[in-house]
Amino acid sequence: MINEKANRMGDNDGTDQQGTNLTGDQDAPQGDPHGPQEFVRLFLANQRRIFSYVVVLVPNFATAEDIVQESAAMMWEKFDQFTPGTNFAAWAIRIAKFKVLEHRRRGQRKRLLFSDDLVVQIADDAADMADEAAARDRALAHCIEELGERERQLVSLRYTQGSTLEKMGLQIDRSVVTVRKRLRSILAALEKCISRRIAEEEIA
């Protein structure tokens, strides 16, 4: 779930999108503490945790990814307010929670099952939902293995290597629109597969 703006900043200042150094100690000093390279490093190191947090509250992969993208853009806008050396994940999740609530307000025309207060309470208690998150992780790993080779390649390019849609299009010789449609189709298939796997675990 890499924010494309962050990726472009990483490309511009020489950040290695595939280097393991990007997922190292998030508190380690690295150049300008409020510069684009440091933002990309911290975001990449914490992207999985941020996405996992959002998808608990918005159990739809495509919508969750959109919210994470919007959150990342706001994180960069407010990055000068982040205190270097403190917990980036906690700071980022506060912004993501705001974006989740904003998304819910945009969808108020639809009947919502839970109030915003309850959503916030669920968010604050998310750490207690480890078993469910673990089940989703197991299901996700299994469902990715069930994908075809080309679909796994797209998932790897986007979520493991952090490629932008533009880079992915160049690598597979397809337009950005086609890549985006394929990713959304893959995410929808994964969502159905995960739901099925979790249901099977509960029955077993």
DSSP letter, residue 108? T
Residue 21: per-residue pLDDT: 33
Domain count, the chain: 2
pLDDT tens track of the chain, all 204 residues?
444 444 444 444 433 333 323 333 344 344 688 888 999 999 998 888 888 888 878 878 888 999 999 999 999 999 999 999 888 888 898 899 889 888 887 765 455 555 667 666 766 665 445 456 667 778 888 999 999 999 999 999 888 888 899 999 999 999 999 999 999 999 999 999 999 998 888 776
User: Which 8-state DSSP code applies to residue 170?
Assistant: H
**Could you tell me which of 162, 159, 182, 160 has the C-alpha nearest to residue 172?**
182
Amino acid making up residue 37: Q
Select from 92, 108, 124 the last residue of a domain: 124
* pLDDT, position 94: 87
End-to-end CA distance of the chain: 32
**Four-residue CA torsion sign, 37, 69, 159, 25:** positive
Q: Point out the domain boundary residue: 87, 106, 124.
A: 124
Are 29 and 109 within one domain?
yes
CB 5 within 8 A of CB 77: no
Residue 67 contacts residue 99 (beta carbons within 8 Å): yes
Is there a single domain that holds both residue 110 and residue 133? no
Q: Which domain holds residue 25?
A: 1-124
Element (H, E) at 194: helix 176-203
The reported pTM is 0.48
pLDDT of residue 122: 63
CATH code assigned at 177: 1.10.10.10
